[in-house]
Structure 1
């Protein structure tokens, strides 16, 4: 039995459990519940990432000194920064781990709701819906079946509104965090690290890119993205306050 067959049975089992409460949208509710379970499993990594970010912020004065000391030797500067992280037992990559560990769950959902057959059998999950929108459909399908204000189109408008609200919350929070904790990026002459200014300008808008993801992936995968994004906004607000 393939991993996709096992995962399909898990989703179907969760949907059966939620059927009395959610009726025709039980499978959609199962995906939301599955996402919450994944985020609970990843939460210890998120807490570790928050501790890592605070530790990296505490190292910024020392890193600024190293930049000034090795301003004319980029290779020596890089080595010195890595040695500092190792000495303080701070991983510069710890913040990436929560996202990396979620990728398999997302791709499982994407494959499961993009395939007409699973394990050689007809994929019955494609018949499930969130209200009027099929879980295996995409926004383009909704536009072709009733338009923006059709039954499926309204489901997507609701998801877009939720994502936009979460993105606006993240935007304001990121701008405030960057203003309160400016990174020490200047060398003795006041020159910025190349490219860092552009990254700083784009970073607050990153959450809005989720709108594109929701529009192009199957609805089931979009539900995962929306639920996980909302969870991240609340989790980060609690961990990084």
Structure 2
């Protein structure tokens, strides 16, 4: 079943296509062939601006976890490998301190529908029964609906550098964000003897780079969204960590 044929989804896609088309037409005199790519960047910035209140909650949640870090470390030492009792104790602590461990996920969850919309708009030949003109949009001659693999496997492989540059920017941004997060909220070393402690630390070290792998396999339009959002997050977090009390 094609979900784009559902009434609600179809309406959202149609509205999204109309918005991007209007922005592209308005930016064309200034940006030329890159107008659609710039339109996606502007949409991303608009979405992230609207989500600033959630980002504030996220930074406050970070601050709360930092404040509770000594108590959390003590609980980890106390319960060691008893995962069930540790989770129960952590939940009691969060409840008593009125801290939500899920607050840090809010901006990511809120962006998921928009990213899904961008992805869908650049992977379907038609929207609401009409030909999808957005698929004709390009950046450095690469259609915004192409993935890195499609570019490398086709005649446009010489233009793949633009995708590789974007992925490089994303990787650097992710690493800078990870380091800043580690300084702001240091993670305690695993308790000796805790099963999987070392593995968990290694996974946590590399999980942020999943976004780089994701950006490499989605259409270029979605890659632009992910990269723009990541760069925004890095700057936004640096500012809010200084301002939010």
Normalization by structure 1: what TM-score?
0.85
Structure 2 counterparts to residues 123-202 of structure 1, below 5 A: 123-146=132-155, 148=157, 150-151=158-159, 153-174=160-181, 176-177=183-184, 181-183=186-188, 186=191, 191-192=193-194, 194-202=195-203
Q: Relative to structure 1, is the Cα distance of residues 184 and 160 closer, same or farther in structure 2, using a 3 angstrom cutoff?
A: closer
Render the CA deviation track for 1:6-55: whole Å, top value 9, x for unaligned: 11001111112212211111111000000111111112111111111111
Displacement of 1:231 after TM fit?
1.2
Measure, in 2, the Cα distance between the counterparts of 1:221 and 1:73: 41
Q: Which moved more, 1:229-238 or 1:99-108?
A: 229-238
1:105 to 2:114 alignment: yes
- Given that 1:126 and 1:134 are in contact with CA atoms closer than 8 Å, whether structure 2 keeps it comes out as yes
Measure, in 1, the Cα distance between the counterparts of 2:83 and 2:116: 39
Q: How many residues get paired? A: 233
Q: Which moved more, 1:48-57 or 1:108-117?
A: 48-57
Q: Which runs of 5+ in 1 are unaligned?
A: none
Measure, in 2, the Cα distance between the counterparts of 1:135 and 1:56: 40
Aligned residue in 2 for 1:211: 212
- Look up the SS of the partner of 1:114 in the other structure: coil
Displacement of 1:82 after TM fit?
1.6
Measure, in 2, the Cα distance between the counterparts of 1:165 and 1:74: 34
Of 120, 124, 147, the match for 1:115 = 124
Q: Relative to structure 1, is the Cα distance of residues 184 and 213 closer, same or farther in structure 2, using a 3 angstrom cutoff?
A: closer
Render the CA deviation track for 1:146-198: whole Å, top value 9, x for unaligned: 364x13x12212212322332342354355456xx343764xxx544x43432
Normalization by structure 2: what TM-score?
0.84
- Given that 1:174 and 1:204 are in contact with CA atoms closer than 8 Å, whether structure 2 keeps it comes out as no
Q: Which runs of 5+ in 2 are unaligned?
A: 1-9
